[in-house]
Amino acid sequence: MTPAVHAHALDGSATLWELVERRAAATPERPALFQGDRSLTFGELRERAERTAAGLYGRGVRPGTVVAWQLPTRIETVLLSLALARLGAVQSPVIPYCRDREVAFALRTARAEFFAVPGVWREFDHTAMARRIGAPGLFEAYGELPDGDPATLPPPPATGTDVCWIYWTSGTTSDPKGVLHTDRSLIAGGSTLAHALRLTRDDVGSIAFPYAHIGGADYLVMLLLYGFPAVLFETFALPGALAEFRRRGVTTAGGSTAFYSLFLAEQRKHPDRPLIPTLRLLAGGGAPKPPELYHAVVRELGCELTHGYGMTEVPMITMGSPDDTAEQLATTEGRPPAGMEIRIVDGEIRLRGEAVCQGYLDPAQTAQAFDGDGFLRTGDLGHLTPDGHLVLTGRLKDIIIRKGENISAKEIEDLLHTHPGVAGAAVIGLPDAARGERVCAVVEQPPGAAQLTLPAAVAHLRAQGLAVHKLPEQLEVVDALPRNDTLRKVLKHRLRERFA
């Protein structure tokens, strides 16, 4: 049986590189990463990452040097990230879909000294963009990585409590925030996630979202702790990716609510045979999960679905577990791990624990984000059940105030998802002279569905028991809801701009 590098065997100062060394020593020949016809074992992962670290060291990267990288989900990206962890550099991942304004802001704000790009990727010239914005220390890291002799390297980092990661919030309505993490906070997130999901050495995972998202480091921690491999997808689209899922025998997949819906839609094309025969678990977070979607996945895909709650500032807050009841899995975001404190203040969820970030690059933003007791204000609304599960009820900015009454957008969205003619739904508040705000439901429909009308939607919501004062006064049907390029969250600000 493959040994597990359990989190409880690591003290609070453990580093990501320490996890790499322990896993390589425990199971050097076991596969770690698959991508197309390429693969790396855990031993090879350590060896190649250390050679890349030596190459970077030869170029002038030192402990504490800020290195930004904007790379797709590739084996080389993981190697570069681990090489920077070996050096003790401060790395700042940038989602590959960001462009000049966002990238320039990130490089300038983080004071990056080096910037790694993929060259031309998906018909966009990242190297040319980097030159336009005056990126420092530019180098391409898509195929060939810097190489050197590990004997030239200084000792690895001694502690995992220093800030060595700068992640970026989405910045959908303003400039993104630089979120400060340590190896310790990322290890806390990844280890508790793996424990909640009951993953084992026999699993085969998958990373179908951008590795530059904070979920990438979380997933890597899981691989290193439990010694199972993951299949990397540089770009993800169905049905194209299905062959690779099947070839590698993937047992656990997901990413976010939108991923569940994509798998479900493919299964419905051929309901008589399993979409991925080895799949036993879909898991993810990043966006609310309608209860009906949980039931549909379990019923039609024939696998379990566990959903969690996390954010860039706190990669793992709560997670559903296969041990939970169907009701708990359908209607809650799971339970917090032992190291996560949740406090509800006036309906808002506040957090304190090892997985919580150290704050932001801007000290003023840090001061505003944490309360006097050191709890992070999330801006999310919810409550804890008597058995300790967290229920999300919306966001502070997603509360619609109609004639002085507070209305939760999420409540209406969950009920709309039970309508067979709704594939996706977003409920927003729009300015209204008489009411203050009016309730507008925006939906996308499955192929072949009859056009949904406002009277039909209202009748369905009434039948589901929705209070009269919460019923939508406006319905918009769109071909596709606008979503971001990471975990496919619906961009409600675009809907407000379009329909106001």
Residue 244 sits at φ, ψ, to 5 deg, of -70, -40
Residues of the chain with CATH 3.40.50.12780: 237-395
Mean pLDDT computed over 209-213: 93
Burial class from Cβ neighbours inside 10 Å (0-12, 13-18, 19+) for residue 143 reads exposed
For the cut 60, the answer to whether the pLDDT of residue 431 exceeds it is yes
For the cut 60, the answer to whether the pLDDT of residue 207 exceeds it is yes
Asked if 353 and 369 count as a contact pair (C-beta separation under 8 A), the reply is no
Q: What is the pLDDT of residue 467?
A: 79
Mean pLDDT computed over 472-483: 94
* pLDDT per residue as tens digits for the range 50-72: 999 999 999 999 999 999 999 99
Place of tokens 């979607």: 293
* pLDDT per residue as tens digits for the range 385-416: 999 999 998 878 778 888 777 788 888 999 99
Which two tokens mark 198? Answer: 């009951």
Q: What is the pLDDT of residue 174?
A: 63
Q: What is the pLDDT of residue 71?
A: 98
Going by C-alpha positions, the residue among 70, 87, 89 that lies closest to residue 133 is 70
* pTM of the shown model: 0.85
Place of tokens 């409880």: 8
CATH fold of 7-184 reads: Rossmann fold (3.40.50)
| CA 365/CA 373 separation, integer angstroms | 16
**For residue 399, what are the contacts with CB-CB under 8 A and spacing of at least 6?**
381, 406, 407, 408, 409, 429
Mean pLDDT computed over 199-219: 94
* pLDDT per residue as tens digits for the range 133-142: 999 999 999 9
How crowded is residue 196: how many other Cβ atoms within 10 Å of its Cβ? 23
Cis amide leading into 455 (omega within 30): no
DSSP one-letter code for 142 = S
Question: Which amino acid, residue 296?
Answer: A
Asked which of 245-249, 297-301, 386-390, 467-471 is least confident by mean pLDDT, the reply is: 467-471
Cross-strand partners of 402 = 405
More confident residue, 186 or 436: 186
Asked if 181 and 167 count as a contact pair (C-beta separation under 8 A), the reply is yes
Q: Which CATH superfamily is domain 237-395 in?
A: ANL, N-terminal domain (3.40.50.12780)
Q: How much is the CA Rg of the chain, to the nearest whole Å?
A: 23
Residues of the chain with CATH 3.30.300.30: 403-499
Asked if 114 and 89 count as a contact pair (C-beta separation under 8 A), the reply is no
Q: What is the pLDDT of residue 340?
A: 95
| CA 102/CA 466 separation, integer angstroms | 41
Asked if 45 and 52 count as a contact pair (C-beta separation under 8 A), the reply is no
Mean pLDDT computed over 249-268: 92
Question: What are the angstrom distances between the C-alpha of 198 and each of 141, 201, 252, 325, 479?
Answer: 35, 10, 11, 15, 38
Query: What architecture is domain 403-499?
Result: 2-Layer Sandwich (3.30)
Residues of the chain with CATH 3.40.50.980: 7-184
CA dihedral 278, 284, 290, 296 (to 10 degrees): 0
Q: What is the pLDDT of residue 338?
A: 87
Burial class from Cβ neighbours inside 10 Å (0-12, 13-18, 19+) for residue 288 reads buried
Question: What are the angstrom distances between the C-alpha of 77 and each of 35, 84, 204, 279?
Answer: 12, 11, 20, 26
Mean pLDDT computed over 8-29: 86
* pLDDT per residue as tens digits for the range 333-378: 999 998 899 999 999 999 999 999 999 999 999 999 999 999 999 9
For the cut 50, the answer to whether the pLDDT of residue 8 exceeds it is no
| CA 424/CA 294 separation, integer angstroms | 14
Q: What is the pLDDT of residue 9?
A: 45
| CA 179/CA 163 separation, integer angstroms | 10
Which two tokens mark 445? Answer: 């429909």
Going by C-alpha positions, the residue among 223, 216, 259 that lies closest to residue 241 is 259
* pLDDT per residue as tens digits for the range 262-295: 999 999 999 999 999 999 999 998 777 889 999 9
DSSP one-letter code for 357 = -
For the cut 60, the answer to whether the pLDDT of residue 309 exceeds it is yes
How crowded is residue 341: how many other Cβ atoms within 10 Å of its Cβ? 14
